[in-house]
């Protein structure tokens, strides 16, 4: 009998960060929703087993076909690209290794060898030292999948947000709020919500300026760029509303009035999400989804946490949420085509 759980490639992240230990800590819980295959370095995962005091064995595999998924051993597609482990440090070699994990996972998803990918955190300083021109995962994913229209969606309980721009200086972010950019983000948001099972998405579009410019008293971007984009989205049959005052719209969305808020820049969307996801003590929740891609990609909503890496105290909650959401989206995609793929088919 085939196993219909989606196969999710889970990248290990920066070897100096908490990625490896949260992957190990989460592994058994991930098995309920998915077949999680770690893409990383087997020796780093073995060290993480000791860090979190786990009884898991590590099964090093050379290909997806060689992986098995049970409660006793964590399968690792071993790229063998880490010579030594020193937690909490920025190294060019670690940046190069973490990029290789992501690139391999993307290629596996493009080829159909895996159903989705979930990424543990990388360190942007390390990847920049390694020669990456991208500020993080999102740009790399878009470039490697040849995708032009995409966005970052953050999910925390009932609140979802997407972004017109992310990792750019604030002055540049303001310049990126154009009618076409806002419309593109609304469109990919609508498609992504439908993939997540929201039949009739209701999307709020935040303003850029305080109080959404207060009728033009505080700026012209809302009238010149955002409102025309909303009108075009409405004409195309999308239930979009805005521009909405940024200081209240996230509360409205979290209360159920909207299915997602299109945010104009990074912190506008991230702050409300992290206020919810980081407020429960040591457990950090929340999921990052790259929408608009031809593949399914989710990620944890936290960084490498160099200050606690190697201590065995990092929370795996966000990774569990991310893999579960990746599996759910992948399942919905495959059920609309040929049905879920099992271990006996599609490899």
List C-alpha distances in Å: 115 to 6, 149, 254, 346: 6, 21, 30, 10
**pTM confidence score:** 0.87
Separation CA 338–CA 105 (nearest Å): 22
pLDDT score for 340: 43
- Burial environment of residue 204 by CB neighbours within 10 A (0 to 12, 13 to 18, 19 or more): buried
| Three-point CA angle 49, 28, 155, nearest 5° | 105
Q: Is 195 left (phi over 0), alpha (psi -120 to 50) or beta?
A: alpha
Angle between helices 227-235 and 179-195 (to 10 degrees): 50
Helix (H, G, I), strand (E, B) or coil at 209: coil
pLDDT score for 336: 66
pLDDT score for 338: 54
Nearest residue to 188 via CA among 260, 107, 88, 87:
260
Helix (H, G, I), strand (E, B) or coil at 56: coil
- Asked whether the beta carbons of 176 and 273 are under 8 A apart, the reply is no
Helix (H) or strand (E) holding 108: helix 92-111
pLDDT score for 134: 85
**In this structure, how many other beta carbons lie within 10 angstroms of the beta carbon of residue 160?**
27
* Sequential pLDDT tens for the chain (347 residues): 578 899 999 999 999 999 999 999 999 999 999 999 999 999 999 999 999 999 999 999 999 999 999 999 999 999 999 999 999 999 999 999 999 999 999 999 999 999 999 999 999 999 999 999 887 788 899 999 999 988 889 998 889 999 999 888 999 999 999 999 999 999 999 999 998 989 999 999 999 999 999 999 999 999 999 999 999 999 999 999 999 999 999 999 999 999 999 999 999 999 998 888 765 555 566 799 999 999 999 999 889 999 999 999 999 999 999 999 999 999 998 876 654 444 333 32
pLDDT score for 1: 59
Helix (H) or strand (E) holding 142: helix 137-144
Sign of CA dihedral 281, 282, 283, 288: positive
pLDDT score for 2: 79
**Beta partners for residue 58, in sequence order:** 74
Report residue 260 as tokens: 């997602």
pLDDT score for 221: 97
* φ and ψ of 320, to 5 deg: -60, -45
pLDDT score for 135: 73
């Amino acid at each position: 009998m085939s196993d219909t759980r989606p196969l999710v490639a889970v990248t290990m992240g920066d070897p100096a960060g908490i990625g490896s230990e949260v992957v190990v800590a989460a592994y058994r819980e991930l098995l309920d929703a998915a077949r999680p295959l770690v893409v990383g370095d087997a020796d780093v995962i073995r060290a993480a087993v000791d860090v979190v005091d786990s009884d898991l064995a590590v099964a090093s595999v050379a290909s997806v076909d060689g992986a098995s998924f049970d409660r006793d051993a964590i399968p690792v597609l071993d790229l063998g690209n880490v010579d030594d482990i020193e937690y909490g440090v920025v190294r060019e070699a670690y940046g190069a290794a973490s990029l290789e994990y992501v690139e391999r996972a993307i290629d596996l998803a493009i080829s159909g060898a895996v159903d989705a990918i979930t990424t543990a955190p990388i360190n942007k300083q390390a990847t920049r030292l390694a020669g990456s021109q991208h500020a993080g995962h999102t740009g790399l994913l878009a470039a490697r999948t040849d995708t032009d229209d995409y966005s970052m969606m953050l999910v925390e309980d009932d609140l979802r947000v997407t972004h017109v721009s992310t990792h750019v200086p604030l002055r540049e972010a303001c310049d990126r709020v154009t009618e076409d950019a806002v419309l593109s983000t609304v469109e990919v948001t609508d498609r992504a919500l439908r993939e997540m099972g929201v039949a009739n998405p209701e999307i709020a579009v935040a303003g850029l300026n305080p109080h959404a410019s207060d009728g033009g008293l505080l700026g012209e971007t809302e009238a010149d760029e955002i409102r025309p984009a909303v009108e075009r989205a409405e004409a195309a049959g999308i239930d979009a509303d805005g521009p909405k005052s940024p200081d209240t719209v996230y509360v409205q969305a979290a209360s159920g009035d909207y299915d997602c808020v299109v945010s104009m820049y990074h912190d506008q969307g991230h702050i409300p999400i992290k206020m919810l996801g980081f407020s429960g003590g040591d457990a950090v929740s929340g999921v990052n989804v790259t929408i608009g891609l031809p593949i399914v990609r989710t990620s944890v909503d936290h960084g490498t946490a160099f200050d606690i890496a190697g201590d065995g105290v990092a929370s795996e909650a966000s990774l569990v949420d991310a893999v579960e959401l990746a599996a759910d989206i992948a399942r919905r995609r495959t059920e609309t085509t040929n049905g879920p793929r099992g271990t006996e088919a599609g490899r």
